[in-house]
Each structure stands twice: as C-alpha cells, then as structure tokens.
A and B are shown apart, each in its own frame.
Chain A
C-alpha cells in the first residue's frame, strides 16, 4: 500500500493515496470537477481546460485531469475566480458553435449543453468568427459534422487508442483545426470501420449515425409492404436507458410490443438467427478441425471487425468463418423461407433490423449479402433511433404490456441471447460444438474464463480428449493485439472470437447516449447490460441452440442440415481485401 498523503480541498483536510491526479482524488472525495476532454479510458489530453482548479502557490490554474496530487497541496475547486474562468472557457467554446440546439439530434443529450447550463451561462458575451465546414454525409453509417466539433479530441483518441483504427486526426492548427480522416477524404473512402465509437464518446453532435427514422416511418405506413422486424440481443439490454432507466433492465417484451405498435406486421428476433449462426458456425468449426482446415477459425458476426479485417488483416481472410452475421441470416430467411411460408412475393417483405450497432448499416449495404437479387436488410436503425421512434410515436414504452416474438423465426435459446456480450458467441458455440462433437451434453455450460471485461481472454475446453484452445477479444484495439499473436503463432488457438466494440455489442456504437450522471462506455453500465443478457440466458429452459425447436423445424422443413448447399447459399458469404485511401497493396511497396 502507498503511504497516504495529506491534501486540502476547499480548506478541508483529506488523506489520499499519492500517484493520482487532482481530479481522481477529488472524484473519490465527492467533488465533481467539471470536465470535457477527459475520459477515464483514454489518454490525458488536457486540451479543453474546463477542469481547471486553483492550487495555492501555483501561478496559473492547473488542469486537474493531468496534474498529480502532492503532500500538503492546497486545492480550491469552486472559488469565484475559478468559476468565472471556467465559465469563460465554456463560453468561448459555445461561441464557436452553431446555436441550433433545438434542431440538433443531440438536443437533451449533449455534454456541451449540460456543461453550459452547469456553468450558469445565460448570455453570450463573445461574438466572433465561427467555423463553417459543412457535413460529410458520404458514409453508410457514420456522418461527420465538424461545425459541431469543439476539438476535445475524444473521438481521435477513441479511434486510435481503443480501436486502433487511426482514421481520425486533428488536422491544421489553431482556429483552423478540424477533426478529419487523412487528406480530408470522405468517411466513405477512409479506413473508418463504422464502429460508431466516435459517436459514443463525442460530447456534441460532431459524429452521428446516418439516420433512417423518417424513411422507416414512411415504409411503416405503406400498406402494400409486409414489415418484418428483428432486434439484436443488446438492444433489449440497453434501450431502457434511453427512457431514463438504470442500465441492465431487460426490455425484450416491451420492445416487441412497441415494434408492433409502430406498425410492424411481424416481430422476430436476431437471437433466433444467432442460434442459427451457432449451428452453422459450430458445424464449420468441427469440419475445420476434422478436415485439417484453416485454423484458428475467427468469428465474423461483428461488421466493424469485418471491415477492419478486410483492410488491415487480409492475410486472415481464410481464417474468417464464412457465416453471415445473425442479422443478415435473419433477413435472408425473412425473404425466402418466411415469404414462402406465408405465401407472399419476397419483394413485398420489408426487412428492418434494430441494432446496437452503427456498422450494421454498412453491412446491410454490402452487395455480397444480397439474397436472390434483393437487398436482405432494407433498413438498419440503432437502439437510439428506435428509442426515438417509439417516443416520437407516443408509445408509453415503460408501461406497455410485454409481448412475445412471432414464430417461426423469432424464438431463441439462451445461447442466442448471450451473443450480445464479449465472450458470448464463443460460449454459445462451445455449448453446441461440444454436443455435435462428442454426442454428449455439456453439463457445466457457463464458461467463466471468457466472460467479463478483460481485453483479451483465453479458455480451454476438452472435447473427447482433444484440447480446444479459444481466445476472445473485444474492441478493435484488443483484437489487433490478439491477431498479432495469431499471425506469429497460428497454432496457438483453435477458435477466436472478435467483437469490434468495447464490451461487445452491449457497448455498440448505436447504444443510448450516456445520461446526466454517467460517462460514455462506463464499465459498470457495460457489465450491467451484459448481466441482463446472462440473466435472460439463466432464466431460459432451453440454453443450447440445437435444442431450439424452431431451429430444428427450420432445418427439417427448409435448410436440411447445417452446412447444406442451401444453408451455404443463404447463410454464408466470403470477404475480400479492401483498399481504402491510404492503404497500398503490399506488392506495390516492394
């Protein structure tokens, strides 16, 4: 244990541990110093100066996020002079910001708004030049609006430190500084993986998902279409937060009911096709093991990870499972199996996915996922968008009578549920692979070693005397670390799960914005969302994908068996190396 030191905050004496910043010490003691560019998961930038405090004996105010405590330090957090200085700092930020709050998507969810309010800014004293760059709407999923940017740099650090995609930089300098991809290229041509984490950490609306809510309302009012919905596991675990609930409430029944009230004719569940993904993926994995195929096999559910792989790890394409993501499998079935079943022209089926993810918008537009010449998923909306639609349609989400999903592609096992959290796909696959391989049922089906928020997790299962070594990474930065190991030592693992977002899909780029007293991607909140999924799993009597009666029926009536030619046609795909701007083919370098 470190020896405690004495500090004084606002003239009161406290004993605290050394080796921490003023802000950290103050947080523990119940003083919340205002802040903007600071995020506990990112490096210290000290750019915004909002968190300044007075330290006796120092000539200037110091940034408390960056300044360490020392013995005998006398700190003031709330003097009049400080309050004025902080208010001026925020006023200057606001001055160079469009004053269009009431038409802004982040209205009511904006950190700058909250900050301005808590500083007591009630008038604008500074009027000067304002930046005007216009929006970059080129991306399928993530749009950039530099006019709203206050240059806190959180997106840049998120993109490079946590995700290691390094798409963003602060280009130019001084007043002309703009956050942009290299060469100011459009997002669509950049290495952006569409993970949407820049949106999650942005305090304002400088990054947003491409919004499809108006288009969707229009389609929902079209009587000639059969509107079919699916929603990802993590949406039910997080959407409550958009309605003011604490993290960790399971809103599955309410969400099904709300989707019906919005006008969907059928409400299915991405968890059904998560079960289906397991059947296909576990079969593919066993085939690779038995026929000495390419190992380790790497999961392919995460759309941001797929784009990341295609541009940064093309040498691993053969390792990637050929399974489509659950969303794309679900949509493929909606337009084939389900259309046949209800006897309608598949062109009349309008397939919508509510996802915790922004990259799914990008995935849905991939031509290789088309089914019989039709786009499989017509519209993807994020948790945030669907929450807004529910509010906008006047549906009393919290008090609505819960309903259940429709057959025949809406019921799921517990394995399909945990797909939404890091380690979940692996755990679900193990449950089924074990049975398929050994013919016996895995008794202890909860695989603890691959649960939790550690960046890279390893585990082992023994199947019929053969040791299967697995690894799990969440967040693209951790994925890169793990894959560098795989590149060097391909024999180390048999099966690798990658999820592009911190915490897995529960921390997806489309999840509700952090509320008033929370921070984006707070680990506690992520854990609570994950726990909501684990508790749904525990409450289910059917916890293995192959026990799902609707899955069994689907194979019997339509797909024959996992890995069959028709399953391959509808449920599998292949990926190709991509060369966004800035990525040159290796051969060209020689």
Chain B
C-alpha cells in the first residue's frame, strides 16, 4: 500500500515537473490538482503541501482553490461515487424518493462516505439524461428510470461486484 502511494506520488511529481517547464506554470495549478485527485481519489493534506512547495504556490492559495471547486474532494471518497440528479425533470419524476432510499440503504447523508469506503453520496444538477428520469450516476455510468426499489437492487449489485473483486 505504502509502495503504491509512493508510485502515485512519483507520477504526480513527474507531472508537476512537466508543468513547471511551461510558461505561466502557476496556471497549471488546477490541472495538477485534477491529476492529484485522479491518482489519490481526493486531495490529502500531504499531497497539497507537496504541490504547493513544488509549484512555489502558497499553501493558503492552493487551499482557496481546492475548497472553491466542488469537484475537489478534501476527504477520502468511496470506491463508487453515486451522484443523484436533482434537476427539474428528475425531481418531478421522483428523484427525492430515490435519494431517500439511497440514504436509508447506505446510512449516509449527502457528501458522506460509507464506513466500508464503498460508496460516497453526492447530489447533482441535471446529468443531461432527462429522457430516462429519474437518473443517478455511479462513477461514470448512468442508470435511468429508477425508483426506490430498483435503486436498492442496483446498490446490492455493486456490493456483490466489490466482494468478488
């Protein structure tokens, strides 16, 4: 595990080094944070410290950027990120029931991660799939025409997949 983190860190360092070669290297901060999140799943403090020092950007400034964008996770996230669409079409078609069912099933609120680190729950505004509303997204996969029952079944499917893996 430690070795894996070391490998990821090395990859991030290489990425930063490449950015630092470019003109206006400061402007690559968001790209670097994207890369860090891609590698680690979230932005650990140690990683932010290292990014700040290597890019010669004050840590406070970096923190301002990282907290401004919802995209960046400041806490570890689950293996599967569930985004529940609460856009108008989904809302009308019963998105709140779907959301409540997920909350009940996982025992978490929006923004939280389950104790087994399997699921993180987010809300989303229109995923662009209104035709099959109400929809949710799990990682990068869309599931439509859901209801409270179907969504629980879906979660259980993911649980099974995780067990096998």
Contact = CB atoms under 8 A, between A and B. Distances in A.
A binds B: yes
Chain B contact patch, size range = 10 to 19
A182 interface: yes
Interface in A151-207: 160, 166-173, 180-183, 191
Contacts of A173: 67-68
Contact of B53 (A166, A172, A183, A584): A584
Contact of B68 (A166, A172, A182, A191): A172
A169 B60 contact: yes
A167 B63 CA distance: 11
Given A584-B49, A589-B50, A171 B61 contact: no
B64 interface: yes
Given A173-B67, A173-B68, 5 more contacts: A181-B63, A182-B62, A582-B52, A584-B49, A589-B53
Nearest to A166: B58
22 contacts: A166-B58, A169-B60, A169-B63, A169-B64, A170-B64, A171-B68, A172-B67, A172-B68, A173-B68, A180-B63, A181-B63, A182-B58, A183-B45, A183-B48, A183-B63, A191-B59, A581-B49, A582-B59, A583-B53, A584-B49, A584-B53, A589-B54
A497 to B, nearest CB: 26
| Chain B at the A interface: SS class | helix
Contacts of B67: 171-173
A1 B43 CA distance: 53
A196 to B, nearest CB: 17
Nearest to A190: B60
Contacts of B53: 583-584, 589
Contacts of A581: 49, 59
Chain A contact patch, size range = 10 to 19
Given A171-B67, A172-B67, A172-B68, A181 B50 contact: no
Interface string B117-151: 00000000000000000000000000000000000
Interface string A485-503: 0000000000000000000
A69 B60 CA distance: 35
B20 to A, nearest CB: 13
A582 B64 contact: no
Contacts of B58: 160, 166, 182
Contact of A167 (B49, B54, B60): B60
B59 A182 contact: yes
B154 to A, nearest CB: 32
Give the 3 A-B CB pairs with smallest separation, nearest first.
A166-B58, A582-B59, A169-B64
B68 A181 contact: no
Contacts of A584: 49-50, 53
Contacts of B48: 182-183
Contacts of B45: 183
A449 to B, nearest CB: 33
A160 B64 CA distance: 13
B13 to A, nearest CB: 9
A166 B59 CA distance: 8
A41 B64 CA distance: 23
Interface in A330-349: none
A166 B50 contact: no
B33 to A, nearest CB: 14
Contacts of A169: 60-61, 63-64
B60 A168 contact: yes
Nearest to B68: A173
Interface string B57-99: 0111111100110000000000000000000000000000000
Interface string B37-52: 0000000010011101
